[in-house]
Each structure stands twice: as C-alpha cells, then as structure tokens.
Amino acid sequence: MDLLTIKNVHKTYRLDRIKVPALTAINLHVRSECFTVLSGASGSGKTTLLNLIGGLDTPDQGEIVLDGSPLGSLSDDECADFRLRHIGFIFQNFNLLPVLTAYENVEYPLLLTRAPAAARKARVQDLLEAVGLTQHAAHLPGQLSGGQRQRVAIARALVVAPKLVLADEPTANLDSHTGDTIIALMRRMQRDCKASFVFSSHDPKVLAEADDAVFLSDGRIVEIKRNNEVAR
C-alpha cells in the first residue's frame, strides 16, 4: 500500500534571472512501512525532493499526496500541523535546539501537540531508552557526541509516531562506524515504529539497507529498485 504518491512534480529555482530546473517530471510511489533511499550525485535533486515531500517547499507543478492528503491544498498553518503530526525530520547537521536538553529536544514536538504531561514523559523515556540515551537525557546537545546527537534527532523525529520520517544525508557528518550504528538504529526503529523512512544518501551502506532505492540524476528519476534489490 502506498503512503506517498508523487505525480508529475516539477521544481525550478531562480538564481538571479537564470532558471535552474531542480526536478523534472517526478513520479513516485513510496510504500508504507518501507525504508526508501533517494540516491544520486550532489545536485541531482535529492534534498529538493525531500523538501517537497516534507511540505517544506511547494512544487511549481504536480501533486504530492501523503496518506491521502494532497499537500498543495493545505494552508501554511495546516501544513505545519500536518508536519507536526505525520512527518518526522532528521537532518544532516542534527539541528537540535541547543538550549534544550536531550530529553527536552525529544519532548518538544509533543509539547506542540499539547499531549498530556504523563503521556509525554512515558513516550520520551521510551524513545530515549530505545536509542540508548537514558543516561544522557539531561545533557545539552553541546555535551553530546555527533552520534549521540543524531540519536536524539531520531528519537525527536519518531516521538509523535509519524507515518513518514524524512532524513537528509543522516550519516554524512558521522564517522563510518557511527554512521553504521545510526543506520542500524534507524532500520530497527523503522520496523519497531512501523513508519516509512525516506532517506537521501549516496552512502552504499545505506543503499544496502534500503527496501526501495530511487536513483536521481539531473533532477529526474533514472531508476527505481524495489524490494531490496540493491542488497541482493
């Protein structure tokens, strides 16, 4: 069953007077509870596509339907609410709020949903335990290693139990060993939480973990491999 449908999406950026096509005629189906990787060289349009899927940007043409909701029809506030409840984000640079502890960073999206205090506490503690950071709950991001920060970011992305988690090059700023650990963790969390993960990455190890792999080049989809074809 498809969680996400992308129909004929085009996106062009303007650099002064020059139009730079970022995405051209993108058509894609992302299955539920799958680990999907967008792969391609730098400038191929991976991040642009992730931004459009996450409702952070709008396509010039085409439609993106997530869990039955066409994102283009949502107002700015509705889109923010939609992101809050249905989409989790993991960034290359972790993007944790530096003034909040690990616990508070994970808790923050739940505060926005006005979840009850007891439910918040239980959910945050569960997730911190799942990512192995119970002992570091009171630490500020500045007191954590890169791998630990990304674990906090993973917990934050999953805290509202979203149907879709978007991760933009999540291992790019980590060393190889930590990157492997983070990929394994995300894979485990994806299965445990029954969420769909969409990555942008050109890391072969990430591709090896993918259920589906989408290859982009110059803003176009050049190939799609389904059902863990890459690993096989």
Partner 1 sequence: MNTLTLALRNLMRNRRRSLATLFAMMIGGICILLFGGYIRNIVYGLQTGYVRGGGHLQLQHRDYALYGSGDPTAYGIADYARVMDAIKRDPVLAPMLTVVTPVLSFGGIAGNFDAGASRTVMAIGVVVDDQNAMARWNDYGFPGKPDVMALTGSGPNAAVIGSGVARVLQLCAPLHLADCPPPKIEAASIGTALPGDVSALAAADVAPVASRTDQAQIELLAATTSGAPNVARLHVIEAQMQGVKEFDDVYVGMHLPQAQRLLYGSRMPQVTAIVLQLHHTDQIPQATARLEQLLKTTFHGLPLAVNDFRELNPYYGQTLGLFNAIFGFIAILIISIVLFTVGNTMNAAVVERTVEIGTLRAIGLRRSGIRALFVSEGLLLGALGAAAGLAAALILAAIINHSGLTWTPPGRVTPVGLHLRVWGETGLLLGTAFVMLTVATVSAWWPARRAARLAVVESLRHV
Contact positions vs partner 1 (CB under 8 A):
51, 54, 56-57, 76-77, 80-81, 83-85, 89, 91, 93, 95, 97-100, 104, 107-109, 111-112, 156
Helix ranges (H only) for 1-138 are 46-53, 76-86, 102-112, 117-130
Nearer residue to partner 1 within complex by CB, 173 or 228: 173
Minimal distance in Å, beta carbon 223 to partner 1? 26
Nearer residue to partner 1 within complex by CB, 57 or 67: 57
- Tell me the DSSP string of 193-218: HT-EEEEE---HHHHHH-SEEEEEET
CA of residue 154 relative to chain centroid, distance = 9
Minimal distance in Å, beta carbon 10 to partner 1? 16
Nearer residue to partner 1 within complex by CB, 104 or 209: 104
Q: What is the dihedral of CA 158, 48, 170, 224, to 10 degrees?
A: 90
Minimal distance in Å, beta carbon 104 to partner 1? 5
Nearer residue to partner 1 within complex by CB, 201 or 209: 201
Rounded distance between C-alpha atoms, residue 226 and residue 166, angstroms: 18
Rounded distance between C-alpha atoms, residue 16 and residue 187, angstroms: 41
Minimal distance in Å, beta carbon 28 to partner 1? 19
Minimal distance in Å, beta carbon 195 to partner 1? 16
Measured distance between the N- and C-terminal CA atoms of the chain, rounded to whole angstroms: 23
CB neighbour list of residue 232: distance below 8 Å, 6 or more residues apart: none
Beta bridge partner(s), residue 196: 164
Grouping H, G, I as helix, E, B as strand and the rest as coil, residue 93 is: coil
Minimal distance in Å, beta carbon 65 to partner 1? 19
Nearer residue to partner 1 within complex by CB, 2 or 57: 57
Grouping H, G, I as helix, E, B as strand and the rest as coil, residue 133 is: coil
Q: Are strands 196-200 and 18-31 parallel, antiparallel or unpaired?
A: unpaired
Minimal distance in Å, beta carbon 84 to partner 1? 2
Nearer residue to partner 1 within complex by CB, 51 or 200: 51
Nearer residue to partner 1 within complex by CB, 28 or 124: 124
